């Protein structure tokens, strides 16, 4: 990939991959993991989509490749912690168990290089719809699937017109007033939980909206997702944080090496998305 370089971080935070679902951009994540390493890697929930796998089995080779890539990083020395989410809540009964060097937890405290302490949690525990109106949560999941289908249709049209990838579902989620209100409320509740936990900030996922905000002195950071935006949160060795949007990098940097080019082409064919 022209201009791309291998980067190593103190910590990487990735969530909402939704392996086992058709919208999961596994090829994009494989590409990202090829260029990024970290001493610590946190998988912040909804890595495997148990909800969708219960409805119908979908597990292509690329999804298995993501798992193998993570296990390989663990073997090479990365400390990997898997924080269970609502779509992979079945793992919450395995807290403390190691799978191939990956330890499962419900929440952990991450200490940054500058001494700040962060609560790392998926965040669904503070989503009242998920916990109190279960049927509505499943209905919302169905609506999200529909938005992704619309997203793919728009992506195909934009590809024919020679336009870059653009996420309709992500745009709609931000533009709809109630969605914006929900995101704001979610951030506030997580900031309050960080205060109760007596930490400096919170790192979460769940709502598929990458962000870095200061909320009344609490650092709120959301990793985003690998269904629409293809984002990850990274901690540098000086304790600073940044959000990496890999889909945008793919759009502006054409493949150079033959092996890399094949990976990107596979992503295009798999998702019917033109990323460059």
Task: Summarize pLDDT for 149-206 with one digit per residue, the tens.
Answer: 666 666 677 677 777 665 655 656 555 545 555 677 889 999 999 999 999 999 999 9
| Predicted local distance difference test score (pLDDT) of residue 183 | 72
2: confidence class by pLDDT, cuts 50, 70, 90: very low
Ordered by where they begin, the domains of the chain are: 7-271 (3.60.21.10)
Residue 25 reports pLDDT greater than 80: yes
| Predicted local distance difference test score (pLDDT) of residue 167 | 62
- Count of other CB atoms within 10 angstroms of residue 67: 18
**pLDDT, averaged across the chain:** 81
Given the structure tokens 């793992």, which residue do they identify?
91
Residue 252 reports pLDDT greater than 80: no
| Predicted local distance difference test score (pLDDT) of residue 256 | 38
Given the structure tokens 């916990």, which residue do they identify?
131
Residue 49 reports pLDDT greater than 90: yes
Q: Please report, rounded to a whole number, the percentage of residues in the chain having pLDDT higher than 90.
A: 61
| Predicted local distance difference test score (pLDDT) of residue 144 | 58
Q: Are 226 and 18 in contact (CB under 8 A)?
A: yes
| Predicted local distance difference test score (pLDDT) of residue 149 | 63
Q: Are 80 and 70 in contact (CB under 8 A)?
A: yes
| Predicted local distance difference test score (pLDDT) of residue 276 | 34
The reported pTM is: 0.75
Q: Which long-range contacts (CB under 8 A, 24 or more apart) does 250-254 make?
A: 250/1, 250/28, 250/31, 250/275, 250/276, 251/164, 251/165, 251/275, 251/276, 252/276, 253/1, 253/2, 253/3, 253/4, 254/1, 254/2
Give, rounded to a whole angstrom, the gap between the first and last alpha carbons of the chain.
Answer: 12
Q: Are 25 and 14 in contact (CB under 8 A)?
A: no
Question: What is the distance between the alpha carbons of residues 24 and 21, in angstroms, rounded to a whole number?
Answer: 6
CB within 8 A of 169, min separation 6: which ones? 144, 147, 148, 150, 151, 228
Q: Higher pLDDT residue, 225 or 128?
A: 225
Average the pLDDT over 1-8 and give the result.
74
247: confidence class by pLDDT, cuts 50, 70, 90: confident
pLDDT digits (tens, 9 = 90+) for 71-108: 999 999 999 999 999 999 999 999 999 999 999 999 99
């Amino acid at each position: 990939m022209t201009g791309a370089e291998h980067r190593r971080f103190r910590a990487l935070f990735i969530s909402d991959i939704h392996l086992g679902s058709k919208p999961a951009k596994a090829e994009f994540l494989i590409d990202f993991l090829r260029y990024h390493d970290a001493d610590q890697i946190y998988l912040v929930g909804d890595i495997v989509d148990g909800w969708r796998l219960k409805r119908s089995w979908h597990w292509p080779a690329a999804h298995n490749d993501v798992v193998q890539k993570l296990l390989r990083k663990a073997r090479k020395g990365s400390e990997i912690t898997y924080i269970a989410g609502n779509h992979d809540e079945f793992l919450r009964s395995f807290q403390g168990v190691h799978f191939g060097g990956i330890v499962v937890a419900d929440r952990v405290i991450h200490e940054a290089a500058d001494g700040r302490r962060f609560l790392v949690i998926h965040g669904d525990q503070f989503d009242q719809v998920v916990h109190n109106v279960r049927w509505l949560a499943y209905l919302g999941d169905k609506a999200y699937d529909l938005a992704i289908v619309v997203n793919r249709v728009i992506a195909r049209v934009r590809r024919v017109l020679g336009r870059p990838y653009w996420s309709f579902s992500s745009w709609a989620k931000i533009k709809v007033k109630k969605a914006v209100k929900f995101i704001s409320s979610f951030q506030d509740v997580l900031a309050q939980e960080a205060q109760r936990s007596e930490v400096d900030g919170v790192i979460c996922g769940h709502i598929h909206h990458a962000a870095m905000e200061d909320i009344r002195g609490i650092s709120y950071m959301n990793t985003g997702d690998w269904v629409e935006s293809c984002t990850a949160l990274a901690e540098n060795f000086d304790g600073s944080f940044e959000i990496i949007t890999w889909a945008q990098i793919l759009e502006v940097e054409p493949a150079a090496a033959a092996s890399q080019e094949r990976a990107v082409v596979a992503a295009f064919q798999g998702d019917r998305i033109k990323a460059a």
